[in-house]
Structure 1
C-alpha cells in the first residue's frame, strides 16, 4: 500500500458537493484530500459552506476532486505530506487564495506493509512514522504560525482505532496512530485557548487504503460490528464537520471513536 491510495466514495447527493450551501467564510486545509476519508471530509466541509484546499500526491486525482467539490470552493496543492517544503507551500497557497486557514484536517497517511512487529523492517517503520505523525506536526506548525495563533481555529487529526488497541499485522500503523493521539493532546494543551485540537479514530472504513482488511470478505467483516456495516468516508466527514463547528466549542484534546460499535466487542477489528 502507498500513501493515500483510496478511491473516492460517492455521497449520494447530485451535483457538486458545495453548490447548495452559502459561503460560511471559513477555510479548511485537508491533507490527503483527493480520495477516501480525506475527500469525504472535504466534501462535508464544502457542503456546509466552507472553502477547502486539498493536498495529495496525485495531480489527476486532485484535479478530479476539485472539479467535483467545485472550483469556486476548492483548490489543490500537489506534494508529499512529509515534505516540509510542501507543507509550507500548501499553507501559503491557502492563504494566498482564501486569505485564511481556520481548520486543519491531518488525514494524509501511509501503511505500506503488513507484518508482525518482530519482522518489521525498521526503515518502513520510520517511513510510516514520518508520514503519519511528523507530517501532521509540520502542517500544524505551519497552520498555527500562518493564521491560527492570531485568529484561532481547530485542528482534527485522523487517527485510528489501531492506535487504541492491538491490531495484528498493522502494528507500525497502530504505533503511529497512537503517537498521533498523543500529539493531539500535546497540541491541544499548547495551542489553547484559541485553537482546539481533537482526533478521530475510525475503525475500518471502505476505501482502497483499507481494502486489504475486508476485500473478499466484507459481509464477514461487517458482521463483527454491532451496527452491521463498515464505515464510509461520509461517516468521518460528518465527525470532522462537528469537531470544526461551534457545536464542539468546548471540546479539545479528545479522541472521538467512530467505529460502528466495534469496541463493544472488546476492540476486535
Structure 2
C-alpha cells in the first residue's frame, strides 16, 4: 500500500533499534520522512534499509557530543529542508545498584546523555526550523522518572529531570512548538533486557494488561503527540505502562 507523503520530517535520536526504531516506523507509516541517529553505523544502515532509503537517513554519533548534535540537525536540514518533529529517545543506563554507592562520575554520564543531550537537540531544532515554523518535541522519559526505581536510581533521576525539562520547554516554546513526554514502563527491547531476561512471563504477570510493552506501543503514542489530534496538549507526560501503576493501590 502506498502511503501519502505527509510533508513532515522528524529527527529521532537513538533510533537504530528498540523504542526509537518503533517510533521511526510509526512516523514513516503515516508518511513522514525521518532522520535517525545512533552510535553504530552498521545498525543505522540496516535500520534505514528497513525503513526505506527514500524515507530515512541515518546519522551516526554519540547523543551527548555537541558536535554530533550540530551535525545531525545540519544534515536533516540539508537532506529534507525542515525538521518538524524532534524525538529525544537516546539514553543510557550503565549502572545497577543502590544510590548510596553510586559513582558520581557515572551519575554525571547518565545525566549528560539522558538530559543535557535532549536539551541540546531541542535548542538546535528550535533555532534551525521550529522557532519560525512550529512543530512538536517528544521526550522519552520513563516510569522510573515518576516513582522510586530501586537499583536504577541514576536512570530514574535523569528521567525525572526529562519530565521537568519537558515542562520548561513547553512553557518557553509555546505557542509555536508543543513539547510533551512519554513515560514507558518496561518495553521489550535489548536496552531493557536485564529487567526481564529469562523471566519474561513472570515480569509480564504483574501488568494488568498481561504483557510487557512493545516498541510499537510507544511509536503509537509518539505519533499521536506529534499529530493534529494532540494540538491542544503540551507540557504533559503520557504514562504508557500496561496498567502497572494500578497496582500501587493494591495491598
Q: Which residue of 2 aligns with 1:77?
A: 59
Cα offset for 1:20?
3.0
Cα offset for 1:57?
0.3
Match of 1:257 among 232, 239, 248: 239
Unaligned runs of at least 5 residues, structure 1: 1-18
> Per-residue displacement from partner, 1:162-187 (whole Å, max 9, x unpaired)?
00001110000000000000000000
Match of 1:217 among 199, 205, 215: 199
Matched, 1:140 2:122: yes
Cα offset for 1:267?
8.5
Write out aligned runs for 1:88-237 (5 A).
88-237=70-219
Q: Which residue of 1 aligns with 2:35?
A: 53
Q: Cα gap change, 1:126/1:267 in structure 2, threshold over 3 Å: closer, same or farther?
A: farther
Q: Which residue of 2 aligns with 1:16?
A: none
Alpha-carbon distance in 1 for matches of 2:170, 2:221: 18
Q: Which residue of 2 aligns with 1:238?
A: 220
Preserved CA contact (<8 Å) 1:20 1:47: no
Alpha-carbon distance in 1 for matches of 2:209, 2:143: 16
Preserved CA contact (<8 Å) 1:165 1:267: no
Equivalenced residues, count = 250
1:266 is paired with a residue whose SS is helix
> Per-residue displacement from partner, 1:114-163 (whole Å, max 9, x unpaired)?
01000111010000000000000000000000000000000000000000
Cα offset for 1:64?
0.2
Alpha-carbon distance in 2 for matches of 1:120, 1:85: 29
Matched, 1:63 2:45: yes
Alignment TM-score, normalising by the size of structure 1: 0.92
1:176 is paired with a residue whose SS is helix
- Identify the structure with the greater helix proportion: 2
Alpha-carbon distance in 2 for matches of 1:125, 1:59: 27
2:14 is paired with a residue whose SS is coil
